[in-house]
Chain A
């Protein structure tokens, strides 16, 4: 029997992974949370949990010292960046130090390290922090001879995940607007795929390294919405392009550059004030023309706001597609979700608000 510690088991991903791992043959899952309040959901669903501060290496040793695999979903997220950075690094230090010698350790990172929402590589603070933590994790694991696995998780789909609830609600409510008609890769991963990866680490000793835990071959957004629509037994109603809010509308007509420039100026009061002074040196006709262009720009902006208000926003982010470094061969998510099921009552009630 392989003991697998799940740190941060009270979190969204940690909880669902723990529940799906529970009935895997040959696996004993050890959910770990800081306190009993955090673990209440798991305990009430029949899972025995361990409690303690993983940042304290003495406590950590008692929590994970006898586990064959340690999976770290723990994340400090107080909103105070310095505190979070210190705590998250201390978690890594403590985990690597306290884990059973030679035990593989999994660090849950994120695809935000690729800045998928940007055209160029400039991660947000979350992505940068994770990137730095990954390096520290790999360095420490190497020094202490632990096989290190970094899982860069995409959008995590699963019955207990907010994004899944959101998708189901959208499908029930009516029309769905997807960028690029839903044909762009979704960068999603299902909780069952994470479970499969953990099981493989515990049982098959794959090569340590940094992996993008994204469904491979990638599902596009249409696949994801179709999957949930089929689950709900609801038709998937896709919005047509003309029903979808398009921020670029109205910018392709003549005078675009001038209007963009004027729109920029309108938001730069200090600059506008000074340019107004300079405008007085120009001929009256030029002044008049610029003023009317300004009015045109304003009218267009306000009318576009009105047009767009009747339209649908995209349901998902229009992120660029990522080159995936996949975690070996894995069955497709639908098969895995069936292989690692959640308790039936959790699936049925997971996306309905309490009355």
Chain B
């Protein structure tokens, strides 16, 4: 493990040290999300945009007036920076992790961190906790922060079960349909479902998710729908998780937390409010909000993710996005896939 010197001055952006950021991967998530967000952050200098595809690297870099870097096999060509955003497909990441660990570069990796829990644990072992983060940006949603708080503080009594329903009849794949066609995204569970699974685990502070029943719909090698029951192990005991993620039909796109006398619902999308209904569900829902709890838009969510990561790097303490804190989610995804393969 390489020891990294904590960076000074990230928090005091004005007049403080400028943090250089390298971007590896020039896909949609970079050009549409990370670059707009990073260009709005103070105290950051984007050093380069790298991709193995020369056209992508040049197109994205030129659009933001940045330096393009085309990487083939010689990764050492990548300029040295303080921080790197790693946003290449998960199957291509291992050499990058090794390189940046050796250089002592802090890494924010797009989710999922790795294709398997074994890889993820090995990668985590190469970095200090604060210097490697995984992009489960939904943890910064205001609604998620509030839900986590009310579960942790037992506002409505013990949490009995959770229901997650996310997805849509997805025919529109955007510009990167290739990504979905060849299974590079890992299917609906790895690409989309891991987010809502992480939300459920983060809200409950679960350390483990054990599948008890599952149904996978495969399209060739690509899973298009997953329906499962899991048991979440949390510090307060166990609770059931009903889980659905799909690209084949409309879903509620919500997470419902069930307590003895009420249910609390939050959207899978960025929001500030939670809906609270009595157990009878007769009366209209009440809304619960907490001022300044977190993000209520996608860009705000990514911004808070960056800020938390950079603050963690500065202080030498892991943020809530630290890769190690994401391991239970990665483990759960793998457990589900394993169970799905066993019993397709």
Contacts and interface: CB of A to CB of B under 8 A. Distances in A.
Interface of A: 242, 250, 288-289, 292, 295-296, 298-300, 302-306, 309-310
Interface in B35-77: 35-37, 39-41, 59, 63-64
11 contacts: A242-B14, A288-B59, A292-B36, A295-B32, A298-B299, A299-B37, A299-B303, A300-B39, A302-B300, A309-B291, A310-B292
Given A292-B35, A310-B292, 11 more contacts: A242-B14, A292-B36, A292-B64, A295-B32, A299-B36, A302-B297, A303-B40, A303-B41, A303-B299, A305-B300, A306-B295
B304 A296 contact: no
B238 interface: no
Contacts of A306: 295, 300, 303-304
Contact of A309 (B33, B36, B41, B292): B292
B229 interface: no
B161 interface: no
A306 B301 CA distance: 10
B40 A296 contact: yes
B31 interface: yes
Contacts of A296: 35-36, 39-40, 64
B200 to A, nearest CB: 25
B292 A303 contact: no
Nearest to B36: A299
Nearest to A304: B40
Given A288-B59, A296-B40, A310-B292, A303 B303 contact: yes
B36 A288 contact: no
A65 B240 CA distance: 83
Given A250-B40, A292-B63, A292-B64, A302 B292 contact: no
Contacts of B300: 302-303, 305-306
Nearest to B59: A288
A73 B58 CA distance: 70
A142 to B, nearest CB: 56
Interface residues on B, range: 20 to 34
Task: Identify the interface centre among A250, A288, A292, A309: most chain B CB within 10 Å of its CB.
Answer: A292
A303 B13 CA distance: 15
A289 B31 CA distance: 11
B283 to A, nearest CB: 30
Nearest 4 CB-CB pairs, A to B? A299-B36, A299-B299, A300-B40, A302-B299
Contacts of A298: 36, 299
B117 to A, nearest CB: 33
B55 to A, nearest CB: 12
Contacts of B291: 309
Nearest to A294: B36
Contact of B63 (A242, A289, A299): A289
Interface in B216-263: none
B295 A288 contact: no
Contacts of B292: 309-310
Contacts of B304: 306
A71 B137 CA distance: 63
A300 B59 contact: no
A295 B63 CA distance: 12
Interface string B185-207: 00000000000000000000000
B35 to A, nearest CB: 8
Task: Identify the interface centre among A250, A295, A299, A310: most chain B CB within 10 Å of its CB.
Answer: A299
A41 B239 CA distance: 61
Nearest to B32: A295
Given A303-B300, A306-B300, A310-B292, A292 B37 contact: no
Given A292-B31, A309-B292, A310-B292, A303 B37 contact: yes
Contacts of B63: 288-289, 292
A20 to B, nearest CB: 40
Task: Identify the interface centre among B35, B64, B297: most chain A CB within 10 Å of its CB.
Answer: B297
Nearest to B40: A300
Contacts of B32: 292, 295
Nearest to A290: B63
A21 to B, nearest CB: 44
Contacts of B41: 303
A300 B295 contact: no
B10 to A, nearest CB: 15
B39 A299 contact: yes
A299 B31 CA distance: 12
Contacts of B33: 299
A258 B35 CA distance: 17
Interface string B115-144: 000000000000000000000000000000
A293 to B, nearest CB: 8
B271 to A, nearest CB: 14
A309 B289 CA distance: 14
A299 B35 CA distance: 9
B36 A295 contact: yes
A304 B300 CA distance: 9
Nearest to A307: B303
Nearest to A309: B292
A347 B124 CA distance: 65
Interface in B1-36: 14, 31-33, 35-36
A316 to B, nearest CB: 22
A114 B122 CA distance: 70
Contacts of B14: 242
Contacts of B37: 299, 303
Contacts of A310: 292
Interface string B280-296: 00000000000110010
Contacts of A299: 33, 36-37, 39-40, 299, 303
